[in-house]
């Protein structure tokens, strides 16, 4: 028997989830490849395909332009930000992991999201400066 848990979301959390679903739906309709939506679509590919995509993250992190990339905050599994740990041969079962919020970036060339922690240090600092500048502009 499967145990079911219920979580009550605030109106803001519910709207955030709906907005994310609309954004992902619109993105998938653009015709871009499966890899472009990774890791959120990791359950739609086999483990070998996911592992091959995961290997591309380091190069994508080195090459991404942090001044123009898209930035998103996403709930992820603690220790498994891409939905799978590098040393495991399986995807992380959703019901077995604690959740945290991580920051990701992507561009059309990155072929999917990149965990900000995977960016080289100088790119992380440049991204943080960009985000601070954006916050300052909104506050001003």
pTM, to two decimals:
0.65
Q: Which residue has the higher pLDDT, 84 or 74?
A: 74
14 in a structural domain: no
Mean pLDDT rounded to a whole number for the chain: 79
pLDDT > 70? residue 32? no
First-to-last C-alpha distance (Å) of the chain: 55
pLDDT in tens, 84-106: 655 555 555 656 667 788 999 99
Can you tell me which residue has the tokens 């905050």?
Answer: 73
Q: Which residue has the higher pLDDT, 58 or 76?
A: 58
Q: Which domain holds residue 110?
A: 32-139
**Exposure b/e, 105-139, CB count within 10 A at least 16 = b:** bbeeebbbbbbbebbeeebbeebeeeeeeeeeeee
12 in a structural domain: no
Number of domains in the chain: 1
d(CA 67, CA 81): 23
């Amino acid at each position: 028997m499967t145990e079911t848990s219920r979580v009550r979301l605030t109106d803001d959390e519910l709207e955030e989830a709906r907005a994310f679903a609309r954004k992902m739906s619109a993105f998938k309709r653009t015709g871009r490849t499966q890899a472009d939506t990774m890791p959120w679509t990791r359950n739609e590919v086999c483990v070998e395909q996911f592992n091959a995509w995961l290997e591309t993250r380091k190069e994508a992190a080195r090459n991404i332009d942090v001044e123009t990339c898209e930035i998103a905050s996403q709930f992820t599994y603690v220790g498994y930000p891409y939905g799978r740990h590098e040393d495991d041969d399986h995807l992380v079962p959703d019901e077995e992991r604690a959740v945290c919020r991580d920051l990701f970036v992507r561009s059309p060339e990155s072929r999917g999201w990149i965990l900000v922690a995977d960016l080289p240090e100088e790119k992380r600092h440049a991204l943080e400066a960009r985000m601070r500048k954006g916050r300052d502009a909104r506050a001003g």
